[in-house]
């Protein structure tokens, strides 16, 4: 699977969120590169942990914006974030314990999840924040 490139279609029009998304894609691509190069487990766990931590802090930024703006889609968007964080956390524990491998299928899942989430729930949030005139 090819690396995920940033495209203008991914822009949600809210700078704080868009900057995070660019960084997330970059972190995703670093993980992809580490897998492709066949880096050792310790290095892969380090890169995946960085991606997970960055994702958690990005989700917190979006969730803070949802709460402060009274966003009506908050419950569903929170649930999607929580589900991904749980999945990645479980995978990371299993990977550190040597129970699973970091495969192309996992990269594929993460990349697809991220792009679809940005194009769906994050775009809706960006539209709402802009319509409400929330300062970027
Ligand atoms: Fe989101
Ligand atoms: Fe996001």
DSSP tag of 133: T
- Give the least confident one: 46-50, 60-64, 96-100, 132-136: 132-136
**CA of 117 relative to ligand 2 center, distance in Å:** 7
Q: Number of structural domains, the chain?
A: 1
Q: Give per-residue pLDDT as tens, 44-81.
A: 999 999 999 999 999 999 999 999 999 999 999 999 99
Average per-residue pLDDT for the chain: 95
Ligand that lies nearest to the alpha carbon of residue 121, given by its number in the listed order: 1
What length does the chain have?
136
Residue linked to tokens 């809210």 = 14
Domain range holding 92? 13-131
**CA of 99 relative to ligand 2 center, distance in Å:** 29
Query: Does 87 fall in a domain?
Result: yes
**CA of 122 relative to ligand 2 center, distance in Å:** 5
Q: What's the Cα-to-Cα distance from 40 to each of 14, 27, 104, rounded to whole Å?
A: 37, 17, 15
**CA of 8 relative to ligand 1 center, distance in Å:** 17
Calpha distance 52→46 (Å, rounded): 10
Supply the pTM of this predicted model: 0.95
**CA of 49 relative to ligand 1 center, distance in Å:** 19
Query: Does 112 fall in a domain?
Result: yes
Tell me, what CATH number does 63's domain have?
Answer: 1.20.120.50
User: Which residues does 71 contact at the CB level (< 8 Å), separation at least 6?
Assistant: 65, 77, 125, 128, 129
Query: Does 127 fall in a domain?
Result: yes
Query: Does 108 fall in a domain?
Result: yes
Q: Give per-residue pLDDT as tens, 10-37.
A: 999 999 999 999 999 999 999 999 999 9
Query: Does 41 fall in a domain?
Result: yes
Query: Does 7 fall in a domain?
Result: no
pLDDT at 1: 54
Check whether 135 has a pLDDT greater than 80.
yes
Ligand that lies nearest to the alpha carbon of residue 115, given by its number in the listed order: 2
């Amino acid at each position: 699977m090819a690396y995920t490139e940033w495209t203008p279609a991914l822009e949600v029009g809210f700078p704080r969120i868009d900057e995070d998304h660019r960084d997330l894609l970059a972190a995703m691509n670093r993980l992809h590169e580490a897998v492709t190069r066949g880096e050792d487990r310790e290095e892969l766990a380090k890169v995946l942990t960085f991606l997970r931590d960055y994702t958690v802090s990005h989700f917190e930024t979006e969730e803070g914006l949802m709460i402060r703006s009274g966003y009506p889609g908050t419950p569903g968007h929170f649930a999607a974030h929580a589900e991904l964080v749980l999945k990645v956390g479980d995978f990371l524990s299993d990977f550190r314990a040597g129970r699973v491998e970091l495969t192309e299928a996992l990269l594929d899942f993460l990349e697809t999840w991220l792009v679809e989430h940005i194009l769906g729930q994050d775009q809706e949030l960006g539209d709402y924040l802009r319509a409400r005139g929330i300062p970027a």
